[in-house]
Structure formats: C-alpha cells, structure tokens
Amino acid sequence: MLNKASLDLIKRWEGCKLKAYKCSAGVWTVGYGLTTSAGFIEVGPDTKITQAEADWYLEKTIEKFLAEITPAITAPINENELGAFTSLAYNIGPTAFRKSSALRHFNAGNKDRVPTSIRMWRKAGGKVVKGLINRREAEVDLFLTPVVAEKPATARTSPVQSKTLQASVVQGASAVGGAVAAFQALDGTAQIIAMTGCILITLLAMFIMKERLKAWASGWR
C-alpha cells in the first residue's frame, strides 16, 4: 500500500463526490475519481455511493493499479517516487502510464528527466487544464521529496541502571550509616533529638528519591 503522503495526494486531487458527475474529460465519475473503466461498478448519471464505499473503492483501485504498474518499474524506487507514479497512473490510467516517457526515463536511470515527462500530462479533452497542471506539480514535488528513514528509539536505562539514581542510593545509605553510629554514642535525651533528626533526614531522602524517579521517567539520566 502507499504511504500517507501519497494517499493524501491522490485524495486531495481526486476529491470525493458521492453522487456521479462528469469529469473534465466528460466521463461519468463517482467517489475518488472512480469510473466504469476501473472495473468495479458501472458509473452513470444515477450512481450514488456512501463514504465507506468510496474509501473501499479507492483502496481497491490503488491495489489494482499498483499490481498493474509495479511490474513495469525495473529500476529501484522509493515510496515517494512510487506514490507520484501511482497518482499519475490513477489519473491517466495504468496502460498510458506503462507507455509514458516518465516510466521510460526512470527505468533508464534518467530521474532528472522524469519531472518534465510527468508535467506533459496536463490535457483533458485535448485542452490544457489548470487543475491538471497543479496536480502534476504536486506529483513532481512528491517524486523529488527524499524519503527520510525514522531513527530507532534510543534504549532507556532502567531505574536500577541509572547512574544518577545509583548515586542517590549510595548517598542515602551513607547518610543512614553515619546517623546510626552517632545515635549509639548519645544519651537518652540526645537520642530522642537524634531520632527526630533521622526521621526528618529519611523523609528528605524519600522526597529526593521520588523527584529523581520522576525525572528519570521524563527521560533525564
């Protein structure tokens, strides 16, 4: 199936009408540019379809056209180039596409000549149509757009592996050990005061650890 940019291009330029109309070439059309020649339904003046049917016919028509044009593409092709070619074939028909100079230049390795060949398909009923000129430019733009590979997600350390959190644990343990040693050397009253201090230190340590965990969850190391 096509990528989103390619599918959006076809949808935008075909438009979607649920009641049949005559296109600029005088052919009865419905949905996303669906005509009788697509081989799914007979499209006439009384043809009406639902949005769900329009989406289904679009998907199946694209699958059909891809099956017809991809065997003719013999050079390596990226998904944006394939999308541009599919949009062109969707508009002019797969047979015309297979015979086009755009495909011939592409297969010969002359990609720089493809945009000019795409732009040649700007007539309907023997007349130049502004809408077709604009569509061809959109297809050329897509054809020339590099495909950017998605960067793999960076593996995150677990809380146990986090050096920052490890340091916090060590610091907390050291503080507790020192407090215990000091506590044992004190008399009764001093021990009560020290116990209160230890509780406060423990609560502070827990708060710090909580904040560190929240920071780790946000991606901080």
Of the residues 23, 79, 81, 198, which is catalytic? Answer: 23
Active site residue 16: no
Spatial separation of the C-alpha atoms in residues 49 and 60, rounded to whole Å: 15
Q: Which structure tokens are listed for 169?
A: 């644990």
Spatial separation of the C-alpha atoms in residues 159 and 169, rounded to whole Å: 11
C-beta of residue 85 within 8 angstroms of C-beta of residue 103: yes
First vs last Cα of the chain: how many Å apart?
40
CB neighbours of residue 57 within 10 Å: 19
Spatial separation of the C-alpha atoms in residues 74 and 93, rounded to whole Å: 19
Bridge-based pairing of strands 17-22 and 28-31 is antiparallel
C-beta of residue 102 within 8 angstroms of C-beta of residue 84: no
Active site residue 14: yes
Q: Which residues are catalytic?
A: 14, 23
